[in-house]
Amino acid sequence: MSLSAADRLAIVEVITRADEAAGRRDADGYVALFTPDAVLDGTQGRHAGREALRAAVGPVWAAEGPVTLHLTLNPVIEPGPSDDQATVRSVLLIIDPAAPPALRTAAAITQELRRADGAWRITRRTVAPAAVPR
């Protein structure tokens, strides 16, 4: 299967909007970018469904401090088994923007997305420690 340029742009936009919502601490806006049956898993446990995601992100964001920037870098988008599925691998940097700015966390992110009703949504987001290049 292949993805059009428009699909790839829409997928990057969903991921960017998730970063923006996380930075604003907007749990409702964040979970709206996920499918109702989505799974968030990784270093902070496994959370399935929008309500579980909403409950999980508050404590995670609180541990980051009052303000952070979430930046997704180098997204690699792979088509899924159908035209309505895709997988994105990227690096997430969480930055404390106070002077001087400081890197809080780097993580490897794998996201599976599905197009439903004409919109791309995240179905699974897996967070892992960033791999150290060798």
Length of the chain as a residue count: 134
The answer to whether the CB of 109 falls within 8 A of the CB of 94 is no
Q: Is the pLDDT confidence value at 132 over 70? A: no
pLDDT in tens, 72-121: 999 999 999 998 999 999 999 999 999 999 999 999 999 999 998 899 99
The answer to whether the CB of 130 falls within 8 A of the CB of 91 is yes
Average pLDDT over residues 31-54: 95
- Backbone dihedral region for residue 85 (phi beyond 0: left; psi -120 to 50: alpha; all else: beta): beta
Cα 76 from Cα 25, distance rounded (Å):
26
Average pLDDT over residues 59-81: 92
At residue 133, the pLDDT reads 65
Instruction: Tell me the torsion sign for CA atoms 60, 90, 123, 13.
Output: positive
Tokens of 12: 């990057």
At residue 67, the pLDDT reads 87
At residue 15, the pLDDT reads 97
C-alpha angle 95/100/102, rounded to 5°? Answer: 30
Average pLDDT over residues 17-31: 96
At residue 13, the pLDDT reads 97
